[in-house]
Amino acid sequence: MNLQGKIINVLGDSITEGVGVSSVENAYQNVMGRMVGAAEVRSFGVSGTRFARQYGQDVFPGPFTERFKSMPDDADLVVVFGGTNDYGHGDAPFGGSADRTNDTFVGACHYLFSGLVKKYPNARIVILTPLQTSYDQNPSGNTGKPLIDYVDTIIEVAAHYSLPVLDLYRTAGICPRIPEQLTRFMPDGLHPNDAGAYRVAERLTAFLNAL
């Protein structure tokens, strides 16, 4: 996929917002944008946000399923990177395959991906799975599921809409449960630092170039 001179919208959470890196210019999507020669990378990353809505009081400004609607329509590429917060502190049920609203995680994946396909009929839409974290094998306090279950649901639902998925959980080359990798790429066990963001950008660039 040739992205030279193209416009890219990126919908995400704190990693897209730039938490963990020394400056927003070093966030993965901005590094990727320079690598591919994009005309503009628009970042719609908000810390703490999730795919699904929150049932209890929410201090964060809206789930992905609502925020994508306000993104400009003229993007050539749309990248979605989230799901970790649904696992980490969301209170929506996990849901089942028939769900199509943002009341459950599964339903929110369907709602978001189908909504993006309708909103951007001529753009390429690419989904990124969550990265590994230092605690991702622990069961979610809400659903009792490990992060990998959220990862696999994202992959399954994206396939339903024929959307390409970059499985960063399995292929990013960042495993913060290993102390040496924690120090090098993700010191807080959750957010990539400059080196981690660059590694994600390299992986994403290679994936996009192969599309």
Tell me which residue range forms the domain holding 63. 7-209
DSSP secondary structure string for all residues of 13-45: SHHHHTTTSSSGGGSHHHHHHHHHT-SEEEEEE
- In the structure encoding, which two tokens stand for residue 182, read together? 């924690």
Range in 19-23, 57-61, 94-98 with the lowest mean pLDDT: 57-61
- The domain total for the chain is 1
Does 31 map to a domain?
yes
Calculate what percentage of the chain has a pLDDT beyond 90: 96
- The CA distance from 122 to 76, in Å, is 8
- CA separation for the pair 201, 211 (Å, rounded): 16
pLDDT above 90: residue 122: yes
pLDDT in tens, 191-203: 999 999 999 999 9
Assign 165 to helix, strand or coil: strand
**pTM of structure:** 0.96
111 occurs within a structural domain: yes
Tokens representing 32 are 């990727």
Average pLDDT, the chain: 97
pLDDT at 59: 64
Domain contains 98: yes
User: In this prediction, what percent of the chain has a pLDDT beyond 70?
Assistant: 99
Report the CATH number that the domain containing residue 69 is assigned in CATH.
Answer: 3.40.50.1110
Rounded to whole angstroms, the Cα distance separating 24 from 31 reads 10
Residue 136 lies inside a defined structural domain of this protein:
yes
Mean pLDDT of 176-189: 98
In a domain, 2, yes or no: no
Q: How confident is the model at residue 149 (pLDDT cuts 50, 70, 90)?
A: very high
Give pLDDT tens digits for 24-75: 999 999 999 999 999 999 999 999 999 999 887 666 779 999 999 999 999 9
| Residue 1 is assigned to a structural domain of this protein | no
